[in-house]
A = this chain, B = another copy of it.
Amino acid sequence: MESSASILPLSQLPSVFPQKPKRSNLPYNPSWLSNSKPRASRPPRMHCHKMYVPGFGEASPEAKAANNLHSFFTYVAVSIVCAQLESYNTEAYEELMEFLSRNSLNDGDQFCANLMRESSRHKGLALRILEVRSAYCKNDFEWDNLQRLAFKMVDESNTRLMRDYVLEISHVEGEQEK
């Protein structure tokens, strides 16, 4: 079944770490510092060959990234359900789009919780979104491809940044020699 593309507003996209209200934007925020454990009581650091990543408190970088992907999967699941509905259930599609216009997808779980409580028809949509995001995360999303693309991206970006710099510098030096 061919369904045409449905477009979600990009403002709905979750930001990387929306669920950290306690941390302020200030670089040296006393409330942030008071939330972290005092240094004296920290457990001794495990010795391993990995680089020390500071500032992640109890959550690992992997957990932060997974949390971010979780929001992304909810966004993708809503997109998938919208596209499915658009082609064969216009009424439900309109209802979901109307709900989307009133509710932010920044916090995907909160969005689903609100959707469940809107009406019994909305509840059906919410359960479907939960099911789709689980299926998408576990079956459809290409994890190997994600890793491959990230490796490629870091190599290409590093090369481009250094090449651009060298080109710029050699150009400036060429100008000075004239």
Contacts and interface: CB of A to CB of B under 8 A. Distances in A.
Interface in A89-128: 97, 100-101, 109, 112-113, 116-117, 123, 126-127
Interface in A105-159: 109, 112-113, 116-117, 123, 126-127, 130-143, 145-147, 149-151, 153-155, 157-158
A160 B130 CA distance: 11
Contacts of A39: 4-5
A76 to B, nearest CB: 6
Interface residues of A, number: 95
Nearest to A133: B154
Interface of A: 2-11, 13-17, 20, 23-28, 32-33, 36, 39, 45, 50-55, 60-73, 76, 79-80, 82-84, 97, 100-101, 109, 112-113, 116-117, 123, 126-127, 130-143, 145-147, 149-151, 153-155, 157-158, 160-162, 164-165, 168
